[in-house]
Every structure is written in C-alpha cells, then in structure tokens.
Amino acid sequence: MAGSRSWAEGVLQLLSRMNSFHMQGSSKALCKPFCVAGHEVGVVQPRLFPLLSRYPEVFRVTDDAQGRVELCSHLNTYQQRSGALEGILEDWREEKLFDCLGKWRNEKYEVMSRFSDPPLLKVERSAIGLFGVKSYGVHVNGFVRHGHGEMSMWIGRRTLDKETFPGRLDNLVAGGLSAGLGVKETLIKECEEEACIPESIARTAKPTGTISYTYENDWGVFPECQFVYDLEVPADFVPRVGDGEVLEFYLWPLEQVRELIAGSEFKPNCAMIVLDFLVRHGALHADNERRYHQFIEGLHREL
C-alpha cells in the first residue's frame, strides 16, 4: 500500500538522495558561487579552486566574505565565454583530470541564471556538474485511461550500454534541453527518436509543471529542473524502440508503477516524475499518506 511505512520511507530516501546537496555532510558550505557577467549561474566545489587559478585570463577566484568564482569581464560575449570554457574543458579531458569528461557527449547545454534569461554561454553536457550550472530537461508521462477511472503507464527500460543508469526503468520519453532547442521542440524530437511517437500524438502532451532538485556526487553538483508533461495515448497505441536508447517498453498498471518507485529499479529522477504524477492525479494525498507534505517539498527544491 502507498501508505505503508516501508514504501513511504523508500520514497523519502529517494528524495533525500536527489537533494543530497542540501543534506548534512555535503560540500555546500564550502562551495563558491559561479558568476558570469554579474549573474550567479552555478556553484563550484573547493576541489576546483587550485585548478582554476591556472587560468587567470579566464577565471577570477576571490577569497573575501563574498568569495566567488567569476569569468573574467573581458570575456563579454556568448561566443567568447563559450570558447574559453570549451578550450579549458578539452585540456582537462586530455589530461584525464575528471571522470565525468570521459563521458564527453559533444552536446551543449546553455547557461543562464534563470530559464527566462538570455543564455550567457554554452557548455559541454558532461561538464555541467563541475560548475554546478542548472540543467533543464523534458519528461513525458505516457499513460492510458481505462474504464472506471483506472490508468496504466507506459514505462521504458534503458539500454544496458547507457552512460548513466543502464538497465533502469525510465519514463516513456525524456531528454535534456540542448542549446538552441525549446521545450516543446525537444519533447516532439524525443518522442519521435526514442519511442516513434508521431508528432500528431506528441503535440497533444499537456504541460503540468516542473520538478526541481540538486544532488552531489563524484562528478560534481547537479541542480536540475525538469519540465513535466502528461501524454494520454490511445489504448491501441504501442511505442516502438527508436534511437536505441530504450531496450523495451512496458504498459503497467499505475499501482505496479507506484510500488516500483520506492525501490532501486527506476532511474531516480524518473521515479520523481512518477511520484509527481501520482500526486497530481489524486492517487496520493494528505489523507492516504502521512508523508505527503514531505513528498511535495522533496519534488520542489531549488539550489
């Protein structure tokens, strides 16, 4: 049952892991803000401070009470900032200084203080944790509505050679926002590439809000915001494996999916997307789950 202590505790452990940067024992108190053109865009762990001092023409690291890491002011255009950081990251990759750069994606994420702000630069996806910059993505809950109000959810299983969380369960469709692409544009692209969902169906996806969290691991600090969509698909529609990132798809009763998010089978942020779905559709509420308010808090924690 959703209200059982073991299930609720499993969900709380998930939310704690995904917000580990806010928890006791993290590096949060020792980090410095990362600033570009006067805007705070991320956070830098202390392990990087000595390394950044090797590049005085790119970084300024201050040690005063308002200590911060800044890109030098003479780098005053999007192209100059992006190029300077790209050159340094390529050097670090060649020197094998950070394991995360061994997963180089040749995909750029845009860096800005808020999503509504113009981007200040772009950075290689595999390096975003080094500078703690917020990344954005789109996740789609694909579901089928049956008679008597019952629902089933389409779930994908990641391929065994994925760079992260191989073999784990995933939402029907998900993808990061690459530089130059909008939210709905990314959704339609990922629907076609990952699950062979035609644009005519993908465009019916309904925006339902966001979830936010910040975790820390050996690769850095990761503030993430996911734009969440619900996509009700026809009962006779079956997604097909597209670009090879998904091993197979399953259509499971919502109760089965709910039980699984408290364990270790799901990619963690995808489990959070399902939890948000359960809350919004009334499967979880304050009268059937004592930890309901903690679930809500854990789904919406900013850096």
DSSP string across 88-121: HHHHHHHHT--GGGGG--S-EEEE-SSTTSPP-E
pLDDT digits 0-9 by tens, 3-55: 455 999 999 999 999 999 999 999 999 999 999 999 999 999 999 999 999 99
Same fold, 5-22+135-298 and 28-130: no
The model carries a pTM of 0.94
State residue 2's pLDDT score.
47
Distance of CA 93 to the CA centre of its chain: 23
CA–CA separation, 30 and 219 (whole Å) = 16
Residue 149: phi and psi, rounded to 5, are 80, 5
Q: Which one-letter DSSP state was computed for residue 291?
A: T
* Mean of per-residue pLDDT scores for the chain: 95
Domain with residues 5-22+135-298, CATH architecture: Alpha-Beta Complex (3.90)
| Element of type H or E holding 55 | none
CA–CA separation, 296 and 285 (whole Å) = 10
Helix (H, G, I), strand (E, B) or coil at 258: helix
Does the structure show a pLDDT above 60 at 1? no
303 pLDDT band, cuts 50/70/90, is confident
Give the CA-trace dihedral at 235, 237, 243, 249, to 10 degrees: 40
CA–CA separation, 258 and 272 (whole Å) = 11
Spatial CB neighbours of 279, under 8 Å, sequence gap ≥ 6: 285, 292, 295, 296, 299
Work out the percent of the chain whose per-residue pLDDT is above 70: 98
64 pLDDT band, cuts 50/70/90, is confident
Does the structure show a pLDDT above 60 at 258? yes
Helix (H, G, I), strand (E, B) or coil at 32: strand
Helix (H, G, I), strand (E, B) or coil at 159: coil
Q: What is the mean pLDDT of residues 123-149?
A: 95
What residue segments make up the domains of the chain, in order of their start?
Answer: 5-22+135-298, 28-130
Residue 236: phi and psi, rounded to 5, are -95, 5
Does the structure show a pLDDT above 80 at 192? yes
Q: What is the mean pLDDT of residues 134-145?
A: 98
Q: How many residues does the chain have?
A: 303
Burial of 170 (0-12, 13-18, 19+ CB in 10 A): buried
The shares of helix, strand and coil residues in the chain, as percent rounded to the nearest 5, are 35, 30, 40
Q: At which residue do the structure tokens 């919406």 appear?
A: 300
CATH topology of domain 28-130: Transcription Regulator spoIIAA (3.30.750)
